[in-house]
Amino acid sequence: MAHSGFEGYEKRLELHFFGDDPTILQMGLRKLDFECMIQPTLEAVQCTVVSAVGNSYFDAYVLSESSLFVYPTKIIIKTCGTTQLLKSITPLIFYAHTHLGLTLCSCRYTRGSFIFPESQPFPHTSFEEEVTYLENTIPENLSLRKASIMPSKLSSHSWHVFTATNDPPLSHYQNHPYTMEICMTDLDPILARKFFRRSGDGKSGDSAGKDMTELTGIDEINRNALICDFAFDPCGYSMNGMDGDWYSTIHVTPEDGYSYASFECVGSISMNESMVHMLRKVVQIFRPGTMSVSTTMTSGGYGNEAWRMVAGAVEPMGLKGRSFAMDGFPAAGSVVFQTFTPLRRKSE
């Protein structure tokens, strides 16, 4: 099948490391040399850095295909298109161990259902292939493993999850109790046009990105966030937001026929009010024809709270819940997966 559009759906990889030297752990993975270690790893994945920012907690990179976040003991890489994300695992494990004495203790891989699955290269040709690759790549001490496809009544929006952690498990996630990943397709075409650049605008990707951030209201999702944004030519947009040690990120592929946008953030159940605000702003900015929300909780007992929070936030915006699924992963928490579509179709 010929490639007929850009693949917006991202692949997301989260790796946690541990070590015994407290002096190393203060900066940890942030000490990896960019040109000699990070950049070659990204080249293996087939993407590059286009903009970057950092604070006292972590470094955030906007990539040519999505985002990279580097904390002292955690790396998150999120890439779209036909990138080969899983090829980053081996070099990252090697650099972390050889140069910092850090050892991988947890791995999480998630993604939605690709719009153009036939265009994906190895090892992303199928979820089964991805799981096999992961099983053969990560260390044996990550023995608590599970792979799951969480179904949806909208078959094109199923959620794929693989987790692996060490036994006995360490506490990897205490600072970020949950991660929310939102995938949206069939964006409102008028709103999607705001992510196209004017021909010959003479602006850099950074300055054009800043304009899009303000024009669309993305800067109002979290007013406390430091935003690093970038607009691609002729269209497309990415941003990373930094609020203390919390991150958020948005990526937009606005072309008609395969329009897509994603929003991701970390938070805690105690942030219910601010999370509701963020969810509603995201719906206002994109007005998707289909929206899926995956909430990963690393501490138990919050599944129903997460489900109610998400539904209570987006249903007053004219969306109706179409499916709900929840699954647990050994020593890695649980995932709630919900899909929504408008009460009234756009053609009605």
316: CB partners within 8 A, 6+ apart: 280
Spatial separation of the C-alpha atoms in residues 144 and 56, rounded to whole Å = 32
Please identify every residue annotated as catalytic. 7, 10, 66, 80, 238, 251
Query: Which DSSP symbol is given to 207?
Result: H
Tens digit of each residue's pLDDT (9 = 90 or more) over 222-253? 999 999 999 999 999 999 999 999 999 999 99
Q: What 3-state DSSP class applies to 262?
A: strand
Q: Cα separations (Å) of 23 from 20, 69, 100, 154?
A: 9, 21, 10, 49
Q: Which tokens belong to 305?
A: 């709270």
Spatial separation of the C-alpha atoms in residues 23 and 216, rounded to whole Å = 43
Give the per-residue pLDDT at 348: 41
Question: Average per-residue pLDDT in the chain?
Answer: 90
Q: What is the value of pTM for the model shown?
A: 0.93
- Give all domains of the chain, ordered by start, each with its CATH number: 11-168+175-342 (3.60.90.10)
End-to-end CA separation in angstroms for the chain: 33
Spatial separation of the C-alpha atoms in residues 229 and 61, rounded to whole Å = 10
Give the per-residue pLDDT at 157: 81
Tens digit of each residue's pLDDT (9 = 90 or more) over 287-315? 999 999 999 987 655 667 788 889 999 99
- pLDDT at 339 > cutoff 90: yes
Q: What 3-state DSSP class applies to 318?
A: coil
Give the per-residue pLDDT at 323: 92
Task: List the single range of 56-60, 112-116, 284-288, 336-340 with lowest mean pLDDT.
Answer: 112-116
- pLDDT at 155 > cutoff 90: no
Across 79-94, average pLDDT: 95
Report the interhelical angle of 272-286 vs 303-314 (nearest 10°). Answer: 40
Spatial separation of the C-alpha atoms in residues 162 and 335, rounded to whole Å = 11
